Homo-oligomer: A and B are copies of this chain.
Amino acid sequence: MKKYTARLEFQVRDYECDMQGVVNNAVYQHYLEHARHEFLKTLGIDFAELTRRGINLVVVRAELDYKASLTSGDRFWVGTRLERISPVRFAFMQDIYREPDLKLALSGKVIGTALNERGRPKMPDEIARLLAAGEGMELVVPE
């Protein structure tokens, strides 16, 4: 299993399932977003507060490999690891594992940047520093 810097536990809620009886594809992006925002908080980056200050962290690309479906009541966790890929871009490597069998449900790569108030990519120094710290954080080995 890969290593992650952060790990967040979830449980599927029934309203997240669609007519196939499994979690709808779009909902996984919600899981990943929530895991990213919680991870960012541990680095001292508050997505909502940045938004209020006019700094918008945005996703520019998402690659999502759907490996196995999650369904009603499933417990799972999202593992997140951060990689800087350019001066203004960072990648979140994010995978979703079902509990308790650790079956890989989704493997994702989500690339983000920061936009200033005029919508131009611009990574504020304070954010860059905090993200750099996140990249260097000790890795969590999931049990």
Give A residues with C-beta under 8 Å from B: 13-15, 17-21, 24-27, 29-30, 33-34, 37, 41, 46-48, 51-52, 56, 58-66, 69, 71-73, 119
Contacts and interface: CB of A to CB of B under 8 A. Distances in A.
Contacts of A66: 58-62
A97 to B, nearest CB: 18
Contacts of A25: 29, 33, 59, 62
Q: Please provide the 6 A-B residue pairs with the shortest distance between their CB atoms, ordered closest to farther.
A: A48-B72, A26-B29, A13-B34, A17-B19, A26-B26, A62-B64
B51 A20 contact: yes
Contact of A63 (B18, B24, B34, B63): B63
